[in-house]
Amino acid sequence: MASSCGRASGTRNAYRQVRWTPKQCEKANVTANKLGGGWDFDVLANEFDVGDLLEWGFKGWEIGIPDGVDVDAEWQAMPEFEQEDMSGAQSIHVHFATREDVNAFAELIGQTLTEETRAIWYPMADKIDMISELYADGA
């Protein structure tokens, strides 16, 4: 561990270098910012565990939990969910010098490529109709 001090805006500030686990680092950053920082609440909601945030000093109402709600109890008896990895084996960016080159490539792979096309699957993947897709637990 090392310690030192420095000056910022004319104020002397002490600091020390520490070796923390990633979880300890998260706690230190959240706790420090809780005292005077601003928040991206989407990041808090999506990248941090609610139990950790409550343990680190947030009140339920600060992160959208109504008073009297037991967060752990809300998750009891929820069905298990495993998200299958649907990412491709490899992604590449292909650059074309002209629109004619794009059209030649589209013909070669047997797909339609418009100026709005941002990504494709090769071979062409079946589209899933998410509107009519029904999800239910196995019970």
Q: DSSP states of 27-77 as a string? A: HHHHHHHHHH----HHHHHHHS-HHHHHHTT--GGGGTPPTT--HHHHTTT
The reply to whether 120 falls in a domain is no
Mean model confidence pLDDT for the chain: 81
Determine the average pLDDT of the residues in 28-45: 80
- 59, two tokens: 């009140």
Determine the average pLDDT of the residues in 32-41: 78
Determine the average pLDDT of the residues in 104-116: 94
The reply to whether 38 falls in a domain is yes
The reply to whether 132 falls in a domain is no
Determine the average pLDDT of the residues in 107-127: 90
CB atoms near residue 39 (< 10 Å): 13
Contacts 24+ apart (CB under 8 A), 39-45: none
Provide the domain limits for residue 22.
Answer: 16-74
Given a cut of 50, whether residue 1 has pLDDT beyond it is no
* pLDDT tens-digit readout, 60-84: 888 888 777 777 787 788 888 788 8
The reply to whether 47 falls in a domain is yes
Question: Among 108, 120, 15, which Cα is nearest to 6's?
Answer: 15
In angstroms, how far is CA 21 from the centroid of its own chain?
Answer: 20
The reply to whether 112 falls in a domain is no
What is the C-alpha to C-alpha distance for residues 98 and 102, in angstroms, rounded to an integer?
7
The reply to whether 62 falls in a domain is yes
The reply to whether 50 falls in a domain is yes
The reply to whether 27 falls in a domain is yes
101 or 28, greater pLDDT: 101
The count of domains in the chain is 1
Rg (CA), the chain: 25
